[in-house]
Amino acid sequence: MPSSAVADDRPLLVIYTGGTLGMVESERGLAPGGDIAPRLARALDALPPGRGALLPRHEVLAVDTPIDSSAATPSDWSRLAGMIAARHRDHAGFVVLHGTDTLAWSAASLAYQLQGIDRPVVLTGAMQPLEAPGSDAADNVTLALRFAANPALQEVAIAFGGRLLRGVRARKWHSRDADAFTSPNYPLLGERVGDDSVLYPGRGLERQQRGAPRFELADYAGLDDGGVARIALWPGISARQLDTWLTDPALEGALLEVWGGGNLPDDPDLLGVLARASGEGKLLAAISQCPHGPITPGDYAAGQGLATAGVLSGDAMTPEAAFTKLVHLLAQPLPDAERRRRFLTPLVGERL
Ligand code: ASN
Are 58 and 120 in contact by the 8 Å Cβ rule? The answer is no
- 100 as an active site residue: the answer is yes
Residue 52 is predicted with a pLDDT of 67
Distance from Cα 65 to the centre of ligand 1, integer Å: 15
135 lines ligand 1 (CB under 6 A): no
227 lines ligand 1 (CB under 6 A): no
Residue 4 is predicted with a pLDDT of 45
Nearest CA to ligand 1 atom 7: 99
**183 annotated binding-site participant:** no
pLDDT confidence of 2, banded at 50, 70, 90?
A: very low
Q: How far is CA 6 from the centre of its chain?
A: 27
Distance from Cα 251 to the centre of ligand 1, integer Å: 28
Q: What share of the chain is helix, strand, coil (3-state, %, to 5)?
A: 30, 20, 45
Domains of the chain and CATH, by start: 12-208 (3.40.50.1170), 223-343 (3.40.50.40)
Q: Which atom number of ligand 1 is nearest to the Cα of residue 32?
A: 9
32 lines ligand 1 (CB under 6 A): no
Burial class from Cβ neighbours inside 10 Å (0-12, 13-18, 19+) for residue 152 reads middle
Grouping H, G, I as helix, E, B as strand and the rest as coil, residue 155 is coil
pLDDT confidence of 209, banded at 50, 70, 90?
A: confident
Among 16, 67, 70, which residue has the most ligand 1 atoms within 8 Å of its CB, making it the best to mutate?
Answer: 70
More confident residue, 304 or 31: 31
- 20 as an active site residue: the answer is yes
User: What's the pTM value of the predicted model, to 2 decimals?
Assistant: 0.96
pLDDT confidence of 1, banded at 50, 70, 90?
A: very low
Tens-digit pLDDT profile for residues 125-177:
999 999 999 999 999 999 999 999 999 999 999 999 999 999 999 999 999 99
State yes or no: pLDDT of 8 exceeds 90. Answer: no
Our CA dihedral for 31, 32, 33, 37, rounded to 10 degrees, sits at 150
Tens-digit pLDDT profile for residues 69-121:
999 999 999 999 999 999 999 999 999 999 999 999 999 999 999 999 999 99
Helices assigned H by DSSP within 237-301: 239-246, 268-279
State yes or no: pLDDT of 50 exceeds 90. Answer: no
Distance from Cα 267 to the centre of ligand 1, integer Å: 40
Q: Are strands 121-124 and 94-97 parallel, antiparallel or unpaired?
A: parallel
Q: What pairs with residue 61 in β-bridges?
A: 15
